[in-house]
Amino acid sequence: MNKKVEAVAWNLFFPGLAQITVTKRLGKGVFFFLLALLININARINDIVILSFKGETQRAVETTDYQWLLFYSCLYFFALWDGYRECGGIKESYAFIPFVFSGYMVTIGIVFSPSIHLSGFLLGPLWLPVIVAVISFLIGMLLRTIILNVIEKRPG
């Protein structure tokens, strides 16, 4: 398997795992893992996931500590990027753009998550950030492609 894909896959599961298992950056990986664990506990992410999957989104909103949850998206996308970068992503021009763009947009999604409804369904602190993450990563990839095409067409 491609090491970059493997690193992203491990960090999608939990920040820091790619640094521990794939890139062998134990100190960095343990730091990311413990920081993510601290944020997870304080933001009550496990409760948010359980309540959201049970359809109790309003309870998930009431349970969430948004001050902690806002920090999680920054750590999450930075750990994804770092694992990708450590496995050769640094060689690709502007490869950081989808990760950074997603981090920003998911943070905004978290801010609005208590009030955004889709067809009468409150998306809440789990579903809206997940939807925004996927869409914004794809937009970030498109932005990277556009930037690369513009740079390639410039004279000199």
Alpha-carbon distance 24 to 50, whole Å?
32
Which of 15, 22, 83, 5 lies closest to 45, judged by CA?
15
Structural domain including 113 reads 3-152
Mean pLDDT check: name the lowest of 49-58, 87-96, 144-153. Answer: 87-96
> Strands 117-118 and 121-122, how do they pair?
antiparallel
Q: What is the pLDDT of residues 11-33, one digit of tens each?
A: 888 999 999 999 899 999 999 99
Query: How many separate domains does the chain show?
Result: 1
Output the pTM of the full model.
0.88
Mean pLDDT confidence for 133-146: 97
